[in-house]
Structure 1
Amino acid sequence: MHRFQQSMMKSLFVPIIPGAIIVILLFFLEYFQFELVEKFLLFAAFVIVPLVILLLKYDEKSTHLQTIYTAIKWFQFPAALLALSSVMSSNDWGLEGTAIPGILSLGWLLLTLLLCLYGIANISIHKGKIAEIAIGAGLVYFFIGGIWFTLYQYQWTLFQANPATHALSSVHFHFSSAIVPIFIGMLGRIMTKKSWYPWVVAIDIIGPVLIAIGMIFSKPIEYIGVTLFACNIAIYTTYLLTYLKRNPLYRKAAVFLVVSCLAFYTIVVVSMFYPLLKRKFDLTILDFIPIYGALHAFGFVLCGLIGWIYLLDSLKRKNHYHILDERNDNLTIGRFI
């Protein structure tokens, strides 16, 4: 039984191995002359979204949800390859300025649309449960990120924002906007319900929209959105660390989730000391973007998703063995009756 459990844990992340290998090559091979923002977008396509799909595996699914989920699971990797082809066509194949990069990006747009439909269906099926609203909102935000990616690849201007802003907006919606509501929704599934939780979810849904609007139209609105969003993440990480301390059984999950929380706190500390570091070492915001990006994408998001998958898998197996034990007890009692 112990060997079976080990093989099950090892096989959890097999689906993301091909995408992870591709991402490693994208980041470290000089052949891929991509912008950093494009590398992070492809990291989302090949690793982050597949991990979200693994996370959704543990949902209770109706027939409609199962159909959408199956389509998402099988179309994700081809869609990610189309996204890679889209970026390569505009960087390496000399097709920038043509419609080809935009056309190739439509595959990823369709995948994010399927995630959006899954999120809406999930909210509808669970009849407005707060945690499911948060998870559904995160999945809807993937679609908004897909729209921004397509706009970027077509090099279209929207709301007087240039294509570079579209790329940043796409990264924003593929990472923070989509992932944080999913994390908070997962927390809502396992936590004792609190009166403040609906407010956290509401701010979590509104915050990304304020940030996106602020990036295009108004810096003060962006600052308000970022502040609200950061406070929400602080509440989430604090409660999660408390939960893990009270439930020390989930060791693998705890390692990744604690690293995820620490990555967020590190981002906060670096942000607080940014003005001092900028003056002392003659640094610019461009020097800090890779640091922020790595801490957020690889620390907070990646480790957080892996931790939640381990946690949900542990809870599922725990419930499964509990049911088996109850059945065995009933059979034993039945033999004596």
Structure 2
Amino acid sequence: MNRSLKQRMKSLLVPVIPGGIMTILIFYLDYFPFKLVEKFILLAAFVIVPLVILLLKYDDKNKQQRTVYAAIKWLQFPAALLTLISVMSSTKWGLEGTAIPGMLSLGWLLFTLLLGIYGLTTMVMAKGKAAEIAIGAGLVYFFIGGIWFTLYQYQLDLFNASVATHALSSVHFHFSSAIVPIFIGALGRIMTKKSWYPWIVAIDIIGPLMIAIGMIFSKPIEYVGVTLFACNIVVYTTYLLSYLRRNPLHKKATFFLGLSCLAFYTVIVLSILYPLLKKIFSLTILDFIPIYGALHAFGFVLCGLIGWVYMLDSIKKQLTCGNR
């Protein structure tokens, strides 16, 4: 591997480093007295979204799409900082109950709107490609997550749902709803065509909406949505692990994607064993929520995104070497 290639590999995750440092401080310093859901929202703003941006494609011939992509890259960190200031104003600076936290949250809302617009243009330009439609849908779900965050910061009661439900809905759309379609889309870019793949994409788009509607209006709808969504992730992880085993050259990608799949299966196992563990260790669901959240956010989502960034780079390198 020559020096320029090594430098390019090292520079892959450079856009994420400032946000990563900020997130570590947020999680570990007492100066930031945030609730866990708020910390996860900030993790999404500072780290998850920049990694997603690295996975996006755009048409060089489409000036509008190229312009929106450039705006997304430049505005992500300022929007994340506004999100942090919004949460600080409501938790540390004594401005909770005023309109200021909500007004500051509009920065993230407008940024996620930009992501949503980019997602819609991706879906329109996909020309029936299920993988790109899935990624576009994931970007649109970021915008819905932004709406829930703004409702949370304004302390508004929508659909008779509690403010805490708004925060949970925001986390749900920033992590599960947005990320799983993007993962499914990334898989679709590298896999051979399968007749079942468009059905997986369709469920991925519908499932998050069922979960969100169920969280507010009907628990049975939520349970159905969660079941469909979980089954989809099982299909995704199973096929992905099979692909990685057949293609051992993507070493860094294999490592992180393997960790991502392992984190998901760990969540499943803990969920199955929860009744037993609750009795043995006298634990409550509140004790398990941080464990589930960390495994999902840092394990499944974060490791998965890093893995897909390296996978994309690895495939580009192979194509470049093949064309020489």
What's the TM-score, normalizing by structure 1? 0.94
Is the aligned partner of 1:303 residue 2:303? yes
Is the aligned partner of 1:322 residue 2:322? yes
Structure 2 SS opposite 1:159: coil
Tell me the distance in 2 between the aligned counterparts of 1:105 and 1:197: 37
Which residue does 1:119 correspond to in 2? 119
Which residue does 1:212 correspond to in 2? 212
Whichever residue aligns with residue 253 of structure 1, its letter is A
Tell me how far 1:221 sits from its aligned partner. 0.9
Tell me how far 1:171 sits from its aligned partner. 0.1
Which residue does 2:65 correspond to in 1? 65
Structure 2 SS opposite 1:105: helix
Whichever residue aligns with residue 192 of structure 1, its letter is T
Structure showing greater Rg: 1
Tell me the distance in 1 between the aligned counterparts of 2:36 and 2:14: 26
Which residue does 2:156 correspond to in 1? 156
Report % sequence identity: 74
Per-residue CA deviation, residues 231-287 of structure 1 (Å, 9 max, x unaligned), is 000000000001111111100100000000010000000000011111221111110
Spell out the pairing of 1:160-239 with structure 2 (5 A cutoff): 160-239=160-239
Tell me the distance in 1 between the aligned counterparts of 2:65 and 2:289: 38
Whichever residue aligns with residue 197 of structure 1, its letter is Y
Check the 8 A contact 2:58/2:65 in 1, yes or no: no
Per-residue CA deviation, residues 12-57 of structure 1 (Å, 9 max, x unaligned), is 111111110110000000111100000000000000001001111x
Number of equivalent positions: 323
Spell out the pairing of 1:1-337 with structure 2 (5 A cutoff): 2-56=2-56, 58-61=57-60, 62-323=62-323, 325=324
Tell me the distance in 1 between the aligned counterparts of 2:107 and 2:272: 40
Check the 8 A contact 2:109/2:146 in 1, yes or no: yes
Tell me how far 1:59 sits from its aligned partner. 4.5
Higher mean alpha-carbon deviation, 59-68 vs 80-89, is at 59-68
Tell me how far 1:128 sits from its aligned partner. 2.5
Tell me the distance in 2 between the aligned counterparts of 1:81 and 1:211: 29
Per-residue CA deviation, residues 119-174 of structure 1 (Å, 9 max, x unaligned), is 11011112231111100100000000000000000000000001100000000000
Whichever residue aligns with residue 164 of structure 2, its letter is A
Tell me how far 1:201 sits from its aligned partner. 0.6
Whichever residue aligns with residue 238 of structure 1, its letter is T
Structure 2 SS opposite 1:283: coil
Higher mean alpha-carbon deviation, 61-70 vs 154-163, is at 61-70
Tell me the distance in 2 between the aligned counterparts of 1:150 and 1:291: 26
Tell me the distance in 2 between the aligned counterparts of 1:228 and 1:124: 26
Tell me the distance in 2 between the aligned counterparts of 1:17 and 1:182: 22
Q: CA RMSD in A?
A: 0.9
Higher mean alpha-carbon deviation, 216-225 vs 149-158, is at 216-225
**Tell me, which stretches of 5 or more residues in structure 2 are unaligned?**
none
Tell me how far 1:88 sits from its aligned partner. 0.2
Tell me the distance in 2 between the aligned counterparts of 1:15 and 1:198: 32
Tell me the distance in 2 between the aligned counterparts of 1:300 and 1:65: 29
Tell me how far 1:60 sits from its aligned partner. 4.2
Tell me the distance in 2 between the aligned counterparts of 1:33 and 1:321: 50
Whichever residue aligns with residue 16 of structure 1, its letter is V
Which residue does 1:332 correspond to in 2? none
What's the TM-score, normalizing by structure 2? 0.98
**Tell me, which stretches of 5 or more residues in structure 1 are unaligned?**
326-337
Structure 1 SS opposite 2:159: coil
Tell me the distance in 2 between the aligned counterparts of 1:65 and 1:307: 26
